[in-house]
Amino acid sequence: MLISRGSVWLNGIDRLWIVLPALFLGTLKALLVLDRSAVKIVKRIISSRDGRCIGGVYSIKTWLLVLVMMVAGCLLRNSNLPKEFLGLFYVTIGWGLMVSSRNAWIAWYQKRKSLTNSE
């Protein structure tokens, strides 16, 4: 959703080219910052076999961060900042999250593969 909204803003002001640096910055953010957290969360999900709800696999610190990011997104969206900046920011964050989500998909695939091989 972040990538879509940012791209629409950029396209609406004929600045769609800004998506390219946003993808580069998002990839850097994923590799240098977000991957560490993603790996911790995946390990936490895998290790929690106690039947708790899906929200329970995240720490309080993570939920607080999500809340702060949501509020910041609302404030930014309703601010007077230029659409070029907002589009760059939204695409960068969205792409970074998507790139780091590969950690969860890889863990899911490996688990699925191991279950298939054991049958």
Q: Distance from CA of residue 76 to its chain's centroid?
A: 17
Q: What is the pLDDT along the chain (119 residues), one digit of tens a residue?
A: 999 999 999 998 899 899 999 999 999 999 999 999 889 888 887 787 665 666 777 778 888 988 999 999 999 989 999 989 999 999 999 999 999 999 989 988 988 888 787 76
Output the pTM of the full model.
0.82
> CA-based Rg of the chain, rounded to a whole angstrom?
17
Give the domain ranges of the chain: 2-118
Cβ neighbours of 92 (radius 10 Å): 25
Please report, for the chain, how many H helices and E strands are present, in that order. 6, 0
Asked if 92 contacts 25 with a C-beta cutoff of 8 angstroms, the reply is: yes
Contacts of 101 (CB under 8 A, 6+ apart): 38
